């Protein structure tokens, strides 16, 4: 109940107030790009219940704000995220319940966000921290960052949709290998296996992340959102229902002002100026 109240307050609040209300993350909107920065530096940005609550509020805000056309998720300090905060893991903990009540809403929210989501993996992404990165649409990885399928080392399975996304990104056999052996993956290895979109060196990190996000924020957002959804559908639907879904999507895109702008720009031989509508 308390959360609902707080959620309402924050959703109504402007960015400055929202930022001041969060304790475990930063949230900001800038030139069409929303950035969520996981902010429990001393704990390597490990997830707690409170952090998940704030993350959900921020994700909803990014979804609802029409000026936001791209979302970046990153970590503050040395790590992206070390996954679940093990301080909260006791013998009595119902792991299934934690997934259903905390991780599941976040994964579903990211998947249903009709805007591109970028994981800017600034440092180590381990356990469900890696899962969060896998749930994003693009992954930029700092050259010194490491990815770790840490679950197996404590006798657990990779959770938070980790095993749902992993084989789709790198194939079944490679996914099995990573999940079962849990060896550290360097940025170079991640790039080679198709796990990340780009590796960025330390010097250019911030600039390149910003440029990448800005580029996405200039795309026709309606079409990007529809592409995202159709790709998701492509894994579960048969061809006929996929094509039906495709026809709906193209109808929606075809009615969008950005499509009109694209057509006009093509005819006038100029670069289109998409508004994300």
Partner 1 sequence: MNNQWSHIQTEIVKNAGTITLNRPEVLNALNTMMVSEIVQAMENFDQDQTVKVIVLKGAGRAFAAGADIDEMLDKNAIELELLNQFSDWDRIARIKKPIIGAVHGFVLGGGFELALCCDILLASQYTEFGFPEAGLGIMPGAGGTQRLTKLIGHARAMKWLLTGERFSAEDAWQYGIVSSIVPDQLLVEETEKMAEAIAKKPPLSVRLIKESVHKANELSLAEGMQQERKNFYLLFSSEDQKEGLRAFKEKRKADFKGR
- Identify the residue among 251, 254, 260, 266 touching partner 1 (CB under 8 A): 251
Can residue 248 be called a binding residue for partner 1 (CB under 8 A)?
yes
User: Nearest approach, Cβ of 252 to partner 1 (angstroms)?
Assistant: 5
Can residue 20 be called a binding residue for partner 1 (CB under 8 A)?
no
What residues from 98 to 117 belong to the interface with partner 1 (CB under 8 A)? 112
Candidates 17-25, 74-82, 212-220, 246-254; binding stretch for partner 1 (CB under 8 A) = 246-254
Tokens of 144: 């010194």
Q: Which one, 177 or 246, has the nearer CB to partner 1?
A: 246
Instruction: Return the DSSP state at 84.
Output: B
Query: Quick one: which of 116, 189, 138, 129 has its CA closest to 159?
Result: 129
Tell the burial category of 168 from Cβ atoms under 10 Å away from its Cβ (0-12, 13-18, 19+).
middle
Are 128 and 85 spatial neighbours (Cβ–Cβ below 8 Å)? no
CA–CA distance, 163 with 172 (Å, rounded to integer): 9
CA–CA distance, 185 with 162 (Å, rounded to integer): 15
Alpha helix (H) residue ranges in the chain: 2-12, 15-21, 49-64, 95-98, 104-112, 128-135, 162-170, 172-181, 187-192, 205-217, 221-236, 239-254, 257-267
Q: Which one, 112 or 204, has the nearer CB to partner 1?
A: 112
Candidates 2-10, 56-64, 84-92, 247-255; binding stretch for partner 1 (CB under 8 A) = 247-255
Candidates 54-62, 78-86, 144-152, 244-252; binding stretch for partner 1 (CB under 8 A) = 244-252
Can residue 234 be called a binding residue for partner 1 (CB under 8 A)?
no
Q: Which one, 101 or 201, has the nearer CB to partner 1?
A: 101
Can residue 232 be called a binding residue for partner 1 (CB under 8 A)?
no
CA–CA distance, 45 with 37 (Å, rounded to integer): 9
Can residue 198 be called a binding residue for partner 1 (CB under 8 A)?
no
Length of the chain: 277
Q: Which one, 19 or 230, has the nearer CB to partner 1?
A: 230
Can residue 74 be called a binding residue for partner 1 (CB under 8 A)?
no
CA–CA distance, 84 with 66 (Å, rounded to integer): 31
Are 29 and 15 spatial neighbours (Cβ–Cβ below 8 Å)? yes
Q: Which one, 67 or 247, has the nearer CB to partner 1?
A: 247
Are 166 and 178 spatial neighbours (Cβ–Cβ below 8 Å)? yes
Can residue 252 be called a binding residue for partner 1 (CB under 8 A)?
yes
Q: Which one, 248 or 266, has the nearer CB to partner 1?
A: 248
Size of the residue set binding partner 1 (CB under 8 A): 6
Q: Which one, 112 or 234, has the nearer CB to partner 1?
A: 112
Contacts with partner 1 by CB under 8 A lie at 112, 248-249, 251-252, 255
């Amino acid at each position: 109940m308390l959360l609902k109240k707080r959620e309402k307050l924050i959703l109504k609040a402007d960015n400055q107030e929202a930022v001041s209300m969060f304790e475990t993350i930063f949230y900001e909107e800038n030139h069409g790009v929303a950035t969520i920065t996981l902010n429990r530096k001393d704990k390597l940005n490990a997830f707690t219940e409170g952090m998940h609550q704030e993350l959900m509020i921020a994700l909803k805000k990014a979804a609802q704000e029409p000026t936001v056309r791209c979302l970046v998720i990153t970590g503050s300090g040395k790590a992206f995220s070390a996954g679940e905060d093990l301080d909260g893991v006791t013998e009595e903990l119902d792991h299934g319940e934690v997934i259903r009540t905390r991780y599941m809403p976040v994964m579903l929210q990211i998947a249903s966000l009709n805007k591109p989501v970028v994981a800017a993996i600034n440092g180590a992404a381990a356990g469900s921290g890696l899962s969060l990165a896998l749930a994003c649409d693009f992954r930029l990885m700092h050259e010194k960052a490491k990815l770790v399928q840490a679950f197996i080392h404590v006798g657990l399975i990779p959770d938070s949709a980790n095993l749902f996304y992993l084989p789709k990104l790198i194939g079944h056999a490679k996914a099995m290998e990573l999940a079962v052996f849990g060896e550290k993956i360097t940025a170079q290895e991640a790039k080679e296996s198709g796990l990340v979109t780009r590796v960025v060196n330390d010097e250019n990190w911030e600039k390149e992340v910003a440029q990448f996000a800005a580029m996405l924020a200039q795309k026709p957002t309606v079409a990007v959102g529809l592409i995202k959804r159709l790709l998701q559908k492509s894994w579960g639907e048969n061809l006929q229902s996929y094509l039906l879904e495709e026809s709906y999507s193209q109808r929606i895109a075809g009615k969008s002002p950005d499509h009109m702008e694209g057509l006009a720009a093509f005819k006038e031989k100029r670069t289109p100026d998409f508004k994300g509508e």
